[in-house]
Structure 1
């Protein structure tokens, strides 16, 4: 009979019985087809209640280790075998259930599935994390407004509905009304609550846009360099990408070819940080009107302007140029709280032209019914109380201090060996290492990682053609690092840049 391991303070008696029997099946004590003692007999042997043994047997049956029938002793299934073992080489716990499909080819994927399978996947968070990580898109946990958020969540929980039911796919009316007022105050953007669709982060919002507006093979204009996840969404849909070079005035808009869609980050270009000039914004909207295209305006970190006020949105300019309340309907505005509250909340929103309200509501409903209601209610409370904007002012000031620490550390450690772009806004900068050739970029990242510093190359954010001599490419011939600083404290920033500098000094000596 199984010998129960000693109690460890965590496992219940039933779970210890389950583990003991699993081990004996794996060891061959109970081979396939054999029967175990009745629940009454095993309970007597172990000195436990019959109910406990019955619960253990039911758990093993649910996992496929046993077959249980009323009036009969439990039996190890005849189709259960140890995977890839010789009779003399049993290994504990290495079990699988044989199915008729063993050895059969994998299921056939759709074209969309095959495109997805070919996309690279990032490492799971925390995998081989460096000592000091300059990963962009991450925030300091200490910046999260714990007490205001707790009060907002508590208030949402206390407002219990009479029934638990699915909500509006577009989002709760309270949150959409609060977002409407906030967007007008913070971004000068006018819309009706019905035009707002609450989504699970800007990533889902962009995915819905691309699925609804593009068919496979249709052209889409993207910035170069570009937010990698946006490019992946477009590629998975089968879009034909048209990369357009970015300079200090944002994406170049002269002689744009006809397309169905354009994806831009005009208020703070990702990753270079430039702001699209008014003339190019006008050109982009005129182009969209002429060829019937839609512009997706990703305003992922519009709250963070350190030297000037936030830049008016493309959607605001579209309304001004058209002279109507709704504008010409050429722009979909995409916003998020991932850079102000937390990327873990997965809360974002779209502001769509009126003709697109119904398709987006239907698409959101089919995707996941609606965004979780508790988080929506909490954010609505935070916005309505003014706590959200107080928090934004606080973290803007705090990240301004981190930004200053980073710029000072780069200037002190590298001098004229570094050129920084995009420091006027946002939560990252691009550092061009002017003393190294572009071909050393991968070596620089590896040397930094060996020194315990996580830095991230800009090259993967460029279209491959810009690295192979595309005539209109402004890609510098130096390594570029995208350095995020919102997840670090000032002393960590200074220490990380010092470590990076020492690693690059050693690398330079080895290459001399």
Structure 2
């Protein structure tokens, strides 16, 4: 036999790999008899038990067949691998239309791990309630069930009951248990909405600027994106009548992403009336609605919905950790069964241990105690960022969207939008991660002609924030004029 593979695998695995290679090369065609285990063991200088183990593995994988009293043979239907084409490597497997749409937009850049990173969505590791979470996990683990199996794809009943109570008292939202679907982060919730509510060619209204990952999900589903401008109060709902009907509208009414406006009551009513008139569904992404620093959080748009037009998406990614991948949808009762089945097909259910631990935190009050602490800490970080921007940039920078949430937008007065990429590159060279606002606009012509940066502050401590902004200012002052 040919030389067996390098000695990085157990002996039986190397023998099996060598036999598979010879079958693929056609040396052993379908039906061909292999050497007896005794003969091959003697040839290779190994024990017969080792060869028997290799044969048994290939039988289990379907490469070999055995019959009592007969030699082991290559299974029928196993074909040799085709020789590589002389012209070059084989083409990559063909992507679906969905796959090609996914790659139509480049992924956002990521700052080096060593940088002071102002990426939105990151949280400080020091904020995670380790003791409370560990206690919740211990409580859950001590309740070890007698049987481990798949649960309701909507999520653990205990967590849905805890969320039902929390959403009522914290967001003014009332719903039934079967209307809550626990998902792997709000991003999966957006994806489920795209799959269930949007057909190729359907019109989807989106805020402009808006959340790029949501836009990409709907575009990959084949939707026709209809951008609607936002102002200091969020979506300009007065534009909806001229836009006409759509299948779905994706909105962030509690804290518009990225500019920070809060949709006022009159606009909320106008949005709901438009959706009811044209039969549209509204996807309300309440991604960081728990964070308001000068007033209590505003109630959810879903709390005003009387016609069953709103799907509400919430998450603990901005309150506990994005690594937990726990979010939830509140869907109209008529859509509950469809969302449950879609979740079942996507991944059966969200991780049960984390669901159970979150249920303990919610029911015993630990979640809201942590949230109060997180608000105080992030208020300090926000204050540090605002002060640093004022100290190092003064009137050159105008801040927008700082009243709520975990990020703000810094506009550079008198600096053209085309300079954003240069600002970000100069910052990265100085070890600072900052992110231009430009890619968040669907229509480039709709954005102001000035450079803007999206600055998240929840992942850094105040001193780090001050250092980062000082270095950013120095990098921009020392380099070529940022207005060129």
Global fold match (TM > 0.5): yes
Match of 2:222 among 211, 220, 238: 238
SS of residue paired to 2:186: helix
The answer to whether residue 184 in structure 2 is matched with residue 200 in structure 1 is yes
Q: CA deviation at 1:103?
A: 3.4
The answer to whether residue 239 in structure 2 is matched with residue 252 in structure 1 is no
Contact 2:315-2:326 at 8 Å conserved across structures:
yes
Contact 1:2-1:21 at 8 Å conserved across structures:
no
Q: Distance in 2 between matches of 1:455 and 1:486?
A: 14
Alignment of 1:497-512 (within 5 A): 497-509=469-481
Report the number of matched residues: 469
Q: Distance in 1 between matches of 2:386 and 2:37?
A: 70
Contact 2:414-2:483 at 8 Å conserved across structures:
no
Match of 1:384 among 351, 363, 371: 363
Q: Distance in 2 between matches of 1:415 and 1:457?
A: 20
Q: Distance in 2 between matches of 1:205 and 1:78?
A: 43
Aligned to 2:456: 484
Distance 1:234 1:376, change over 3 A: same
Aligned to 1:311: 298
Aligned to 1:118: 104
Distance 1:113 1:385, change over 3 A: same
Alignment of 1:269-348 (within 5 A): 269-318=256-305, 327-348=306-327
Distance 1:20 1:235, change over 3 A: same
Aligned to 1:95: none
Which structure 2 segments of 5+ residues have no match?
29-34
For normalisation by structure 1, the TM-score amounts to 0.80
Aligned to 2:399: 420
Match of 1:352 among 331, 356, 359: 331
Aligned to 2:422: 443
Aligned to 1:494: 466
Contact 1:3-1:20 at 8 Å conserved across structures:
yes
Distance 1:235 1:44, change over 3 A: same
The answer to whether residue 147 in structure 2 is matched with residue 175 in structure 1 is no
Deviations 1:339-363 (A, max 9, x none): 0111111111111111111221122
Match of 2:138 among 145, 154, 159: 154
User: RMSD of aligned C-alpha atoms?
Assistant: 3.7
Contact 1:444-1:507 at 8 Å conserved across structures:
no
Q: Distance in 2 between matches of 1:294 and 1:3?
A: 61
Which structure 1 segments of 5+ residues have no match?
86-101, 319-326
Q: Distance in 1 between matches of 2:312 and 2:483?
A: 48
Q: Distance in 2 between matches of 1:80 and 1:335?
A: 50
Q: Distance in 2 between matches of 1:414 and 1:63?
A: 66
Distance 1:49 1:140, change over 3 A: farther
Distance 1:60 1:182, change over 3 A: same
Contact 2:11-2:50 at 8 Å conserved across structures:
no
Q: Mean alpha-carbon deviation: is it higher for 212-221 or for 400-409?
A: 212-221
